A = this chain, B = another copy of it.
Amino acid sequence: MELEFLGTGAGTPAKQRNVTSIALKLLAERNEVWLFDCGEATQHQILSTAIRPRKITKIFITHLHGDHLFGLPGLLSSRSFQGGQTPLTIYGPEGVQNFVRTALQVSETHLSYPLSFVTVHKGLMFEDSTFKVYADELDHRIKSYGYRVEEAAHPGVLLVDKLQADQIAAGPVYAQLKAGKVVQLPDGRVVDGHDYITAAQPGRIVTILGDTRQTPAATSLAQDANVLVHESTFGRGEAKLARQYYHSTNIQAAKVAKNAGVHQLLLTHISARYVGKKVSELARDAQAVFPNSRVVADFDVIDIPFK
């Protein structure tokens, strides 16, 4: 599980930072990539990575501002042009479907794969045996959402070496022990599966928020997350400006991270006003509130280990 930042800028593209897109790479977990937002030229950024568009199976849009949205038609078309056949689902606020369908219809683009849309709402948006995705509404000029991706716990692993040392022969009994059952062996011994499996490993949690002012929903979405991705359009001392423009400062983001007890904070959506030393300052000021903070750059890859 890795995050790869495809665009970390705010508002308009700059040479240093493209507009927003974030790839959650779930290659080991499900051989898929999930995209969060898709600003213009996201497909161009992908050309410089190892990501293959056909592996992108879900795209979550946080809000419909152009710098988070306008790359969708091109990416969808290229995924088709390159022969993608697996279904793709787009989650986002109402309006994303109208935009995408209009773009595809006007350009007479016929996709080679099934495309579906799910309108985002507060609560559980997706669930299968290994992942759940929750959403909640944030506070931006336009409807904006945050997403919380929860990995299911990894069950304990059977300690085969220990079983063999204890002369418990392989067979259907192994499955029963792995399930944590108490079993009577043919030789009469009674053994407990819990003695032969490692502890279950809690799943990882990644929270990715759209543009937002300070709002309680940010903290609840981020509760105990391994990684929180939070916008940081403004810097220390600019809380008033941030509020006025419906954005956050680095300090506000760091407070969310601290209050939610996350492991790592990644600051993105960085204004073009911040370059060089000023980016380091953004990071340092956030670290004063929440030490494990980092300002990400385009093409940064962040591994998300188990806690």
Contacts and interface: CB of A to CB of B under 8 A. Distances in A.
A175 interface: no
A128 B264 CA distance: 61
A218 B77 CA distance: 28
A269 to B, nearest CB: 15
A167 interface: no
Given A102-B98, A102-B102, A142-B108, A13 B66 contact: no
A106 interface: yes
Contact of A64 (B13, B43, B70, B108): B108
A14 interface: yes
Query: Taking chain A's interface residues, is the majority helix, strand, or loop, or is none over half, making it mixed?
Result: loop
A107 B65 contact: yes
A95 B103 contact: no
Contacts of A44: 13, 18, 40-41, 44
Interface residues of A, number: 36
Given A70-B73, A73-B70, A81-B11, A103 B99 contact: yes
Nearest to A47: B15
A39 B64 CA distance: 20
Interface in A56-91: 64-66, 69-71, 73-74, 77-78, 81-82
A14 B47 contact: yes
A96 interface: yes
